[in-house]
C-alpha cells in the first residue's frame, strides 16, 4: 500500500467513508504534506499550483479535529462557528462549501456558505440555526457580522484560501477587520498559488510560527498540460477556436477573454455560429453565474466563455481544453487560466491566440515562465469567409481580390439603376443661332421716338447743369 494513500491517514470512519465514496485513493503532494501538519494543530503556509487538491488538504484535517464537538442537538447554541474559510470569489466559495458538505456527509457537523449577489434572508436563517463550518467571501461576511447574524468568538480554525487573489482585488482591509473579531488563540491556514512579498507580510502578521509547504515552483504550470501559442489576427480568432475544436474532437472547453463586454459578445457570436455556449462574467447576477456554471458542469454547453472571475480555483472535472482568446494582461493569470484543465494528474490542452499587438504581453509572460515561447503559425483548412461578419466590432471582411470587390460593386450599381425614359430627338439636335437677334425685354417696352404722346403727360423741364465744363479760351 502506498504511503500517500488516504487509508494511511487514519481518518475517522464517517470521513473515511465519505472520501471512499468520492473515489479518493491517492493523495496529491499538497495533501500528503499538509494534512498531517494540520492534524497536529500547527499553522500552515501552503503553496501549490492550482488544481492540486488544496480544498481537501485543509477541509479533511479540520473536520477530523472538530469531531470532538459533534452533537445532534437542535439548539443553535450547540453549533457555534468553529471553522471559518475565506475565499475571494462567489463561485469558489460555493464550490468549497459543496466539497465540505460532501466530506461531512456522515457527521453531525453543519456547514453553510454566504456570499454577495444573493438575498441575505436565507443566509441569515441558516446562520441562526447554527453552523460549525462557515465558508464566506469577505464582503458578505462583514455584512452578516454588522447585522449580528454571525458570531465568531468561538472560531478555532481560519483558512485563507487563494490569499494572493484576495489581496489582488483589494480585500486586505476587509480581512484585517474580520480577523480582529476572532480569538487570538486559533489555528490559521494560508493557502495560495504564489508566495508574493505581500502574502509573506500577511502571514507574518497573522500566523504563528507557520510550517511552510511548497510543492511546486512559483508560477509553475502543470506538466500534464500541452501548451500551444498560435499567431492569428483578431478577425481569425473565432475560426481558430472552431478549427481546433473540430480537429481535436474537444467536447468542452473554457474560453478566457480580458473584458466583460468582449466576453458577452464572443459568447453570443459563437452561439450564432452553432456552438453551444454560455458566458460567465462580473456583470451577470449571481443566479445567472451559478446557472451558467451548472449548465457547463452538466455538459449542456460546449464552451464556457469567461473573464478571469473563473480563472481561480474552479474545479470542474475532465475539462479537456482551455483557450486564451486574449493574452491575459496579468501574466500570473495565465497560470491560473490553464490550471482549469489537466487537473489532478489528467492531461489537458491550453491554446493561446496571439494577435500582432500582443508583443508586450507575451514578453511579460515569457519573463514569468522563464523560457522563450514558440509562436506557431495558424493554418486554416477552410477559406476565409467573405461578406459582412459581425465579430463585435462590425468590421467588413476584405475581399481576397480587390478587382473582385470593385467589379461586384459596379455590377450592383448597374443592376440598381432604373430603366431610362425614351429619348426626345429635339435634345439631340445641334445648336443653331437665330437669323436676327431679338430685342431685349427692357428695350422692347420702350416707345419709339417721335411717337404720339398723351396731352396729359407734361414734358420734362430742362434744368441747367450744376457744373459747366471749362472750355479752352
The pLDDT tens digits for 161-208 are 888 778 877 888 999 999 999 999 999 999 887 777 888 888 888 999
Assess whether 239 and 258 both reside in one domain: yes
For 417, the grid coordinates are: 439603376
Q: For cell 489537466, what's the residue? A: 342
Q: Quick one: cell of 230?
A: 498560435
Whole-angstrom distance, CA of residue 178 vs CA of residue 258: 31
Same-domain pairing of 33 and 136: yes
| Regions of the chain with pLDDT less than 70 | 1-3, 49-52, 216-223, 310-315, 343-346, 382-424, 426-427, 431, 433-473
- Full-prediction pTM beyond 0.75? no
Provide the pLDDT for residue 319: 84
Beta-carbon count within 10 A of 186 CB: 18
Residue 66 located in a structural domain: yes
Q: Measuring CA to CA, how many Å separate 453 from each of 179, 448, 459?
A: 121, 11, 9
Q: Rounded CA gap, 374 and 231, in Å?
A: 10
277 part of a folded domain: yes
Residue 158 grid coordinates = 481560519
Judgement on whether residues 248 and 129 belong to the same structural domain of the protein = no
Q: Are residues 201 and 232 in the same domain?
A: no
Show Cβ contacts of residue 305 under 8 Å, excluding neighbours closer than 6 positions. Answer: 255, 257, 263, 266, 267, 270, 277, 278, 279, 280, 325
**E strand spans, 252-320:** 253-256, 277-280, 303-306
User: For position 107, what pLDDT does the model report?
Assistant: 94
CATH code of the domain in which 257 resides? 3.40.50.300
d(CA 21, CA 15): 10
Sheet containing 187-192, strands listed edge to edge, beginning at the edge strand earlier in sequence: 111-114, 133-136, 83-86, 157-161, 187-192, 44-47, 211-214
Residue 300, in any domain of the structure: yes
CB 364 within 8 A of CB 334: no
Q: Does 157 lie in the same domain as 285?
A: no
What are the counts of helices (DSSP H) followed by strands (DSSP E) for the chain?
16, 14
Domains held by the chain: number: 2
Among 341, 376, 399, give the residue marking a domain's end.
399
Same structural domain, 278 and 392: yes
Domain assignment present for 465: no
- Residue 463 in domain: no
What residues contact residue 329 under an 8 Å CB cut-off, 6+ apart? 258, 361
**Same-domain pairing of 154 and 184:** yes
- DSSP of 166-181: HHHTT-HHHHHHHHHT
Query: Checking DSSP bridges between strand 44-47 and strand 187-192, what pairing results, if any?
Result: parallel
- Pick the last residue of a domain from 374, 399, 424: 399
Q: Which of 191, 214, 237 is the last residue before a domain boundary?
A: 214
Q: Is the dihedral of CA 42, 183, 208, 44 positive or negative?
A: positive
Q: Are residues 124 and 271 in the same domain?
A: no
For residue 329, the enclosing domain spans 225-399
In this structure, the answer to whether residues 169 and 44 fall within a common structural domain is yes
Which grid coordinates are listed for 336? Answer: 491560473
- Residues 241 and 123 both lie in one domain: no
| 315 is a domain residue | yes
Q: Please report, for residues 82, 91, 95, the alpha-carbon distance to residue 135 in angstroms, rounded to integers and kept in the order given.
A: 11, 12, 10
pLDDT of residue 195: 76
Of 303, 189, 298, 168, whose CA–CA distance to 245 is shortest?
303
Q: Are residues 262 and 195 in the same domain?
A: no
Helix axes 260-272, 237-248, angle to 10 degrees: 60
**CB of 253 within 8 A of CB of 302?**
yes
Q: Are residues 138 and 235 in the same domain?
A: no
The C-alpha cell that represents 239 in the structure block: 475560426
**Is 198 part of a structural domain of the chain?**
yes
Residue for cell digits 476584405? Answer: 398
The pLDDT of residue 470: 61
| Within-domain flag for 417 | no
Amino acid at each position: 500500500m502506498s504511503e500517500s494513500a488516504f487509508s494511511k491517514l487514519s481518518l475517522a470512519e464517517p470521513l473515511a467513508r465519505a472520501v471512499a465514496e468520492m473515489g479518493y485513493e491517492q493523495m496529491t503532494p499538497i495533501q500528503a504534506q499538509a494534512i498531517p501538519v494540520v492534524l497536529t494543530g500547527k499553522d500552515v503556509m501552503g503553496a501549490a499550483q492550482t488544481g492540486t487538491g488544496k480544498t481537501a488538504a485543509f477541509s479533511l484535517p479540520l473536520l477530523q479535529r472538530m469531531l470532538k464537538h459533534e452533537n445532534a442537538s437542535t439548539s443553535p447554541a450547540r453549533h457555534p462557528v468553529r471553522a471559518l474559510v475565506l475565499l475571494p470569489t462567489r463561485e469558489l466559495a460555493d464550490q468549497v462549501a459543496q466539497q465540505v458538505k460532501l466530506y461531512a456527509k456522515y457527521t453531525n457537523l453543519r456547514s453553510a456558505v454566504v456570499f454577495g449577489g444573493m438575498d441575505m434572508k436565507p443566509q441569515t436563517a441558516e446562520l441562526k440555526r447554527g453552523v460549525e463550518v462557515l465558508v464566506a467571501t469577505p464582503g458578505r461576511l462583514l455584512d452578516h457580522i454588522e447585522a449580528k447574524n454571525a458570531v465568531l468568538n468561538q472560531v478555532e480554525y481560519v483558512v485563507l484560501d487563494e490569499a494572493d487573489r484576495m489581496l489582488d482585488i483589494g480585500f486586505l482591509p476587509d480581512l484585517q477587520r474580520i480577523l480582529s473579531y476572532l480569538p487570538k488563540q486559533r489555528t490559521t491556514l494560508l493557502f495560495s498559488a504564489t508566495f508574493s512579498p505581500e502574502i509573506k507580510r500577511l502571514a507574518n502578521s497573522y500566523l504563528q510560527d507557520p510550517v511552510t509547504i511548497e510543492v511546486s515552483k512559483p508560477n509553475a504550470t502543470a506538466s500534464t498540460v500541452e501548451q500551444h501559442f498560435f499567431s492569428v489576427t483578431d478577425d481569425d480568432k473565432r475560426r481558430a477556436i472552431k478549427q481546433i475544436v473540430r480537429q481535436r474532437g474537444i467536447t468542452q472547453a473554457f474560453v478566457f477573454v480580458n473584458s466583460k463586454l468582449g466576453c458577452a459578445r464572443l459568447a453570443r457570436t459563437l452561439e450564432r455560429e452553432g456552438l453551444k455556449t454560455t458566458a460567465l462574467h462580473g456583470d451577470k447576477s449571481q443566479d445567472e453565474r451559478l446557472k451558467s456554471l451548472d449548465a457547463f458542469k452538466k455538459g449542456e454547453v460546449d464552451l464556457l466563455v469567461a473573464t478571469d472571475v473563473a480563472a481561480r480555483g474552479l474545479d470542474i472535472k475532465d475539462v479537456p481544453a482551455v483557450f486564451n482568446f486574449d493574452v491575459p494582461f496579468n501574466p500570473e493569470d495565465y497560470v491560473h487560466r490553464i490550471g482549469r484543465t489537466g487537473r489532478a494528474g489528467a492531461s489537458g490542452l491550453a491554446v493561446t491566440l496571439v494577435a500582432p499587438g500582443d508583443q508586450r504581453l507575451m514578453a511579460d509572460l515569457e519573463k514569468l515562465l522563464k523560457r522563450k515561447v514558440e509562436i506557431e503559425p495558424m493554418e486554416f483548412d477552410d477559406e476565409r469567409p467573405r461578406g459582412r461578419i459581425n465579430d463585435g466590432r462590425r468590421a467588413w471582411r476584405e475581399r481576397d481580390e480587390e478587382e473582385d470587390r470593385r467589379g461586384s460593386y459596379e455590377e450592383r450599381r448597374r443592376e440598381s439603376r432604373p430603366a431610362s425614359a425614351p429619348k426626345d430627338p429635339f435634345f439631340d439636335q445641334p445648336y443653331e443661332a437665330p437669323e436676327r437677334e431679338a430685342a431685349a425685354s427692357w428695350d422692347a417696352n420702350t416707345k419709339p421716338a417721335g411717337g404720339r404722346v398723351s396731352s396729359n403727360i407734361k414734358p420734362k423741364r430742362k434744368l441747367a447743369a450744376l457744373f459747366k465744363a471749362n472750355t479752352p479760351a
